[in-house]
């Protein structure tokens, strides 16, 4: 079953940054639910997009524009499932920089995400599997998991051999 935020995210496919001197108001809207409210589309917006998509279906995100903020959110998964959040390192695995998007599929070398700020737009893009820092799933306060939730055996604290 497809998680409801994936329908929202897919409907945004093609939203893109505008050229210098202009800003896409839709991306500014993604920022409105984060700590960079009011910023234009030139600020990194992958986390803002994830926050916005989840909010549209009533799931509270991190409220942060930092991709790595998602490593402390929800439930950790030991393996990805369609629609889970994937947090990636960017540049240096020990730095604060990262990327976040929604899991679609993977192969031996790449993980495919639907996300914002992927080549400056909402689109599918692939990343090296080695850049994965973690897989996350929403946790509900009631203890019940959202629609499309992973099996209990897939819930775990961290990925073996991966630093935050």
Per residue in 81-120, pLDDT tens? 999 999 999 988 888 999 999 999 999 999 999 999 999 9
Cβ within 8 Å of residue 44, ≥6 positions away = 65, 67, 117
CATH number of the structural domain 4-145 = 3.90.1720.10
Per residue in 62-80, pLDDT tens? 999 999 999 999 999 999 9
What whole-number distance in Å separates Cα of residue 149 and Cα of residue 2? Answer: 9
CB 24 within 8 A of CB 18: yes
Please report which helix (H) or strand (E) contains residue 46, including its range: helix 46-56
Query: What are the two backbone dihedrals, phi and then psi, of residue 69, each rounded to the nearest 5 degrees?
Result: -60, -25
What whole-number distance in Å separates Cα of residue 145 and Cα of residue 79? Answer: 17
């Amino acid at each position: 079953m497809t998680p409801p935020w994936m329908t929202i995210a897919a409907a945004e496919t093609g939203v893109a940054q505008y050229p210098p001197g202009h800003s896409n108001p839709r991306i500014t809207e993604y920022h409105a639910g984060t700590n960079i409210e009011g910023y234009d589309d030139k600020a990194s917006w992958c986390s803002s997009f994830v926050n916005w998509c989840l909010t549209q279906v009533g799931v509270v995100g991190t409220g942060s524009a930092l991709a790595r903020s998602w490593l402390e959110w929800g439930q950790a998964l030991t393996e990805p499932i369609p629609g889970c959040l994937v947090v990636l390192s960017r540049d240096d695995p020990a730095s604060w920089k990262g990327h976040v998007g929604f899991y679609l599929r993977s192969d031996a070398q790449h993980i495919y995400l639907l996300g914002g700020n992927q080549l400056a737009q909402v689109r599918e893009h692939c990343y090296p599997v080695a850049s994965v820092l973690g897989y996350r799933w929403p946790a509900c306060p009631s203890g019940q998991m959202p629609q499309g939730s992973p099996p209990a055996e897939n819930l775990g604290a961290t990925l073996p051999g991966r630093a935050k």
